[in-house]
Structure 1
Amino acid sequence: MRAVGVTEFGGPEALHLVDVPAEPLGPGQVRLRVTAATVNPTDTYSRNGTYAQRDPVKEFPYVPGMDVAGELAEVGPDVEIGIEVGERVMGVVVPTGAHGGYREDLVLPARSIARVPAGASDAAASTLPMNGLTARLALDRMALQPGQVLAVTGAAGAFGGYVVQLAKAEGLTVVADASEADEELVRGLGADVVVRRGDDVAARIREQFPDGVDGLADGSVQDAAVLPAVRDGGAVTTVRGYRGDGQRGLQVHPVLVREYSEEAGALDRLREQVEKGVLTLRVARTFPAADAAEAHRLLEAGGVRGRLVLLF
């Protein structure tokens, strides 16, 4: 079975086509014939061995990838999901060894998939599950109420963009950061106020909201540097495990998509929101799976808006 992975950790050049065995299908699981797999920043850390320091890899080849779309190929015992074999689906993947999403045949928990949004290509649909569910989890953890103010850093990225759009749909006021080049994009996503991104973004947010914002989704991973933007007792969500400095009563919630990786209802709700125009799927460029190394080089060079997608 074709996959894209590494036999030793390294730079983009470490990625190459590998042959892995098809996984057995067990109770509560489904098999996907993958046609599209999204390339995310987290995949680069899987590829270069950063994550192996905290969660040692026990087997090679190691296959990255957390977002896929394709065809439902087989349904295991004890599965009742209302989706038929042959339908197009998308899914979120928690990588373990060769189980990552960069492979043409993939077994997932049945509750990790949902139908592809009507009218969306598999490439576009594959960009939704991981970042969309992480954005959903971040908002659920903060539990802000309509009319409250949310700040979003990294708003031009996939996670940040979904947070902006979901927050606006829930009646929040959104202040988001952007470079000059990205300002039009971020306003188009629905941000009420846009401030210039950078090391002083917290001060820029405070200029607009002197009492501080009620919540912060830190998609740009600035950690302590952006906490001053939040009022005392406010809520913060982070995406790389940062837990705050314990000051001012801030409620800091590190969010990991694995917490929602089997929330099929939440993923299907994201599908509905795409179909209603609430969420925008953004594909920057597609690559044949064999060119995964080039996709990783492009992502690490920075400046990509939308997602890079591997096609099988």
Structure 2
Amino acid sequence: MRAVVVQEFGGPEALEVVDVPVPVPGPGQVRIRVSAAAVNPVDLATTAGLFAEMGVVAGTGPTAIGWDVAGVVEEAGAGVAFAPGDAVIGLRTRLADPLGTWAEQIVLDAAAVAPAPDGVDPVAASTLPLNSLTALQALDALALKTGQTLLVTGAAGAVGGFAVELAALRGLRVVAAAGASDEEVVRGFGAEFFVPRTEDLAEGVRKRVPGGVDGAIDAAVLGYPALDAVADGGAFAAVIGNGPDNYRGVRIHAVRIKADGVALTGLSRLAASGHLTLRVAGTHPLAEAAKAAARLRDGGLRGRLVLLP
């Protein structure tokens, strides 16, 4: 079968499609025939060698690519509730695994898999796992209560968009920060307030929410400008990295994404009911993985690109 790997780290052009053995699921695992696999910024980071520098993956030899998957169960190991033929979505987080989701088939722990959202095509469904779980786990870390205020930076992006929608569903008052042209979109997600990028972030937030917000999800990785918008004693979730140094009693949470089939099942139901917006920027065949990665690197997309084996 075919899979995408990087042999020597570099840009999108380093991605290769190679032939590999069909994986075999063990106890507690499922083998999924991939229908669609989303392309995420973390895939570009993997290709560039970031995780090799961190020691998460080997510095030599082929490195597998891909986190998100939507597909159909082909084989289930012992002790698994899923059965062949089940439509599922899943998240691969163990980067040292020899196979990623940019492949024709993938083996995942059943605990990282959830039923696919009813009535949603696999292309759209593949954009859900990584970004929605990141948004959910960031929101959970903040532990805000109904009626409190939340700043979401990068609110028009994949993680930010889900964060706005999930926060609004919890009854939080959301301040969205994004490009001026995205105001209508993020207000449609449920944002009550909007701060365009052209405006000083902390000043703009405090103008709309005197004293600052109760919490922030920094999906745009702005750091201190976003932290300055948080009230003393508030909470801050850094989607990438460890976030800015703590001061003014603000609690800093570094989000470390983990696969969670139970939580993903809930998110799948929200997507099926229309409470989460799934956005696809375009599709490419698996053979054009390098082209898709280059499009993501060049920016300007709204929604995720998706690979089709």
TM-score (norm 1): 0.95
- Mapping of 1:150-169 within 5 angstroms? 150-169=150-169
Aligned twin of 2:66? 65
Aligned twin of 2:133? 133
Q: Which shows bigger deviation, 200-209 or 29-38? A: 200-209
Aligned twin of 1:85? 84
- Mapping of 1:96-245 within 5 angstroms? 96-197=96-197, 200-245=200-245
Asked if the contact 2:5/2:65 (under 8 Å) is kept, the reply is yes
Amino acid at match of 1:6: V
SS state of the match for residue 211, structure 2? Answer: coil
How far 1:97 sits from its partner (Å)? 4.5
Aligned CA distance change for structure 1 residues 254 and 199 (closer, same or farther; 3 Å): farther
- Spell out, residue by residue over 1:38-79, the C-alpha distance to the aligned partner (whole angstroms, 9 max, x if none): 000111000011221112532532121110011111110122
- Spell out, residue by residue over 1:74-128, the C-alpha distance to the aligned partner (whole angstroms, 9 max, x if none): 110122x2x3211211101112243221111111010111111111111110100
Percentage of matched positions with identical amino acids: 49
Amino acid at match of 2:83: E
Asked if the contact 2:5/2:17 (under 8 Å) is kept, the reply is yes
User: Any unmatched runs of 5+ in structure 2?
Assistant: none
Asked if the contact 2:3/2:99 (under 8 Å) is kept, the reply is no
- Structure 2 CA distance, aligned partners of 1:3 and 1:70? 15
Aligned twin of 2:294? 297
How far 1:25 sits from its partner (Å)? 1.6
User: Aligned pair count?
Assistant: 307
- Structure 1 CA distance, aligned partners of 2:274 and 2:139? 19
Amino acid at match of 1:298: R
- Structure 2 CA distance, aligned partners of 1:232 and 1:19? 55
1:281 and 2:282 aligned: no
TM-score (norm 2): 0.96
User: Any unmatched runs of 5+ in structure 1?
Assistant: none
SS state of the match for residue 134, structure 1? Answer: helix
1:271 and 2:268 aligned: yes
- Structure 2 CA distance, aligned partners of 1:305 and 1:49? 25
- Structure 2 CA distance, aligned partners of 1:116 and 1:145? 30
Asked if the contact 1:289/1:310 (under 8 Å) is kept, the reply is yes
- Structure 2 CA distance, aligned partners of 1:237 and 1:134? 10
- Structure 1 CA distance, aligned partners of 2:118 and 2:281? 20
Asked if the contact 2:152/2:218 (under 8 Å) is kept, the reply is yes
SS state of the match for residue 36, structure 1? Answer: strand
- Structure 2 CA distance, aligned partners of 1:284 and 1:43? 16
Aligned CA distance change for structure 1 residues 310 and 276 (closer, same or farther; 3 Å): same
Amino acid at match of 1:276: S
Q: Which shows bigger deviation, 284-293 or 183-192? A: 183-192
Asked if the contact 1:18/1:61 (under 8 Å) is kept, the reply is no
Aligned CA distance change for structure 1 residues 40 and 278 (closer, same or farther; 3 Å): same
- Structure 2 CA distance, aligned partners of 1:181 and 1:290? 34
Aligned twin of 1:23? 23
SS state of the match for residue 280, structure 1? Answer: coil
How far 1:198 sits from its partner (Å)? 5.3
- Structure 2 CA distance, aligned partners of 1:125 and 1:6? 25
- Structure 2 CA distance, aligned partners of 1:111 and 1:124? 21
Asked if the contact 1:25/1:107 (under 8 Å) is kept, the reply is yes
How far 1:271 sits from its partner (Å)? 1.0
Asked if the contact 1:66/1:100 (under 8 Å) is kept, the reply is yes
SS state of the match for residue 30, structure 2? Answer: strand
